[in-house]
Amino acid sequence: MHARAAASFVKVAQQFDSKIYIERDGQTVDGNSILDILTLACPYGGKLTITAEGTDAAVAIKELEKLIENKFGEE
């Protein structure tokens, strides 16, 4: 994931009280940290697993799914 996409992800993730995590190849990082996300070095088309814990976790996941489905608003 490149920097612009990671920044968009963090912007959405920070709107929620829930803790958001991204996992790739066994490495899990904080979904509210652009630097953590960039350390995953996920290539285009790579697979990530997003999880959330907290009172608004379900809504957070839905909003992040929308962001990804819309290709981070870059197309």
The per-residue pLDDT for range 44-73, each reduced to its tens digit, is: 888 999 999 999 999 999 999 999 899 887
List, by residue number, the catalytic residues. 2
| Total domains in the fold of the chain | 1
| Residue-number span of the structural domain to which 47 is assigned | 3-73
- Averaged pLDDT score across all residues of the chain: 93
What band does 27 get if pLDDT is binned at 50, 70 and 90?
A: very high
pTM score, two decimals?
A: 0.89
Query: What integer pLDDT is reported at residue 75 of this predicted model?
Result: 66
CATH of the domain at 38: 3.30.1340.10
Closest CA to 36 of 17, 49, 54, 23: 23
